[in-house]
């Protein structure tokens, strides 16, 4: 049995850092493991311009504890009004690495999201032309569509037609949760890739209802059936370069999740790489973890791979019940339970 695993330092290609004191509370967890992260723009108000992204980037760097290094890779939030000129400014900035499509109403802070793809065609055409990736929360929002089907329906009715219209558009389908998404990405040309979270690889939808309702296991896209979890594990351990690590670590204060209408999002940054190691270990594919965590993402984003290393030891530790989160606390995945791998200091 492998006891120690040394790999090239990974990056997180889908992360929610929030802002202000909340960001300061969670940022060290990410910076300890990852060299870089694609930082999601769904703040209130959203990060819709290069100027807002520059200011947010400065706040992240200012919140970084002394002695830690971390590079935030910024994104813009696509709206019905995004100007193609702003897309050009984003590409020219050198620090904006993608533009995020949230269908309006699909998830946390998506009220200003896109109401119809037709409205954003000028921006998407510009992105295809200059090679700036589109990052996609791939769920339809139609209340008539079953919540467990929203990703598969998005692919059939919106993503596939979009790629037919703009075949050169570089697309990352974020936090995929279904066998349909895994199959679509695997079969697509090389300009289409996907991030996969640790929690969608570790849990199926039963985890939301174990002995009662489990709000800390609620995220979007919602956890799916076991057959989908297995398809995701198969995809990330297949050796395909189209799948890469994106935690979607999405912290919410405890009281906003333990509520009559609880927020969507799981906090996993405290143990991200160890949680992924559990998945690859159980699949007998620890040798595939490094490409997924450290190579496929930078290759897709056309950024250099990291050169320093991290080490994981097979050594269990118990996750705290909660972590400080500004004036509140956040309940991490596995709170009070064990994680089987430890990141060496």
Ligand X SMILES: NC(=O)N[C@@H](CC(=O)O)C(=O)O
Residues belonging to the active site: 248
**Do 87 and 123 contact (CB within 8 A), yes or no?**
yes
Looking at beta carbons only, is 7 or 14 nearer to Zn ion?
14
Looking at beta carbons only, is 38 or 192 nearer to Zn ion?
38
**Does residue 270 touch Zn ion according to CB under 5 A?**
no
CA distance 36 to 27: 11
Considering only residues 128 to 147 of the shown chain, the ones binding Zn ion according to CB under 5 A are: 137
Q: Which does 200 bind (CB under 5 to 8 A by kind): ligand X, Zn ion, none?
A: none
Least gap, CB of 262 to ligand X (angstroms): 11
Instruction: Determine the length of the chain.
Output: 345
Instruction: Count other C-beta atoms under 10 Å from residue 306's C-beta.
Output: 19
Considering only residues 73 to 112 of the shown chain, the ones binding Zn ion according to CB under 5 A are: 107
| Helix axes 272-282 and 226-236, enclosed angle (nearest 10) | 90
DSSP letter at 103 equals B
87 strand-pairing partners = none
Residue among 248, 298, 330, 331 that touches Zn ion (CB under 5 A): 248
DSSP letter at 295 equals I
Binding residues for Zn(2+): 14, 16, 100, 137, 175, 248
Looking at beta carbons only, is 188 or 222 nearer to Zn ion?
222
**Do 104 and 97 contact (CB within 8 A), yes or no?**
no
* Integer-rounded Cα radius of gyration of the chain: 19
DSSP code string of 154-223: HIIIIIHHHHHHSTT--EEE-S--SHHHHHHHHHS-TTEEEEE-HHHHH--GGGGSSSS--GGG--SSPP
Q: Which does 48 bind (CB under 5 to 8 A by kind): Zn ion, ligand X, none?
A: none
> Where do contacts with ligand X occur on this chain (CB under 6 A)?
16, 42, 107-108, 137, 219-220, 248, 250, 264-265
Q: Which does 42 bind (CB under 5 to 8 A by kind): ligand X, Zn ion, none?
A: ligand X
Binding residues: 14, 16-18, 42, 100, 137, 175, 220, 248, 252, 264
Binding residues for substrate: 16-18, 42, 137, 220, 252, 264
Least gap, CB of 194 to ligand X (angstroms): 14
Q: Which does 217 bind (CB under 5 to 8 A by kind): ligand X, Zn ion, none?
A: none
Structure tokens at 216: 């800390």
Looking at beta carbons only, is 82 or 107 nearer to Zn ion?
107
The residues binding Zn ion (CB under 5 A) are 107, 137, 248
């Amino acid at each position: 049995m492998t006891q120690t695993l040394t790999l090239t330092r990974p990056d997180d290609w889908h992360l929610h850092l929030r802002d202000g004191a909340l960001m300061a509370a969670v940022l060290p967890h990410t910076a300890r493991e990852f060299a870089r992260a694609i930082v999601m723009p769904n703040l209130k108000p959203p990060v819709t311009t290069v100027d807002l992204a520059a200011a947010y980037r400065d706040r992240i760097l200012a919140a970084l504890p002394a002695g830690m290094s971390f590079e935030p890779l910024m994104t813009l939030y696509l709206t019905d009004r995004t100007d193609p000129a702003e897309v050009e400014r984003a590409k020219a900035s050198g620090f904006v690495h993608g533009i995020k499509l949230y269908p309006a109403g699909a998830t946390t802070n998506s009220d200003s999201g896109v109401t119809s793809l037709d409205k954003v065609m000028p921006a998407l055409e510009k992105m295809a032309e200059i090679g700036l990736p589109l990052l996609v929360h791939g769920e339809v929002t139609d209340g008539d569509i079953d919540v467990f089907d929203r990703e598969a329906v998005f692919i059939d009715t919106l993503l596939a037609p979009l790629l037919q219209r703009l075949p050169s558009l570089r697309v990352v389908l974020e936090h995929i949760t279904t066998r349909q998404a895994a199959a679509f990405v695997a079969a697509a040309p090389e300009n289409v890739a996907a991030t996969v979270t640790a929690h969608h690889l570790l849990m199926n939808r039963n985890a939301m209802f174990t002995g009662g309702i489990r709000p800390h296991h609620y995220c979007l896209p919602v956890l799916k059936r076991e057959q989908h979890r297995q398809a995701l594990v198969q995809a990330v351990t297949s050796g395909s370069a189209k799948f890469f690590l994106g935690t979607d670590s999405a912290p919410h204060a405890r009281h906003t999740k333990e509520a009559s209408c609880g927020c969507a999002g799981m906090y996993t940054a405290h143990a991200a790489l160890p949680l992924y190691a559990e998945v690859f270990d159980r699949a007998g594919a620890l040798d595939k973890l490094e490409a997924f965590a450290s190579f496929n993402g930078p290759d897709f984003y056309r950024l250099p791979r990291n050169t320093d290393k991290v080490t994981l030891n097979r050594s269990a530790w118990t996750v705290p019940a909660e972590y400080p989160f500004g004036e509140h606390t956040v309940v991490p995945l596995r709170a009070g339970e064990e994680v089987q791998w430890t990141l060496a200091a």
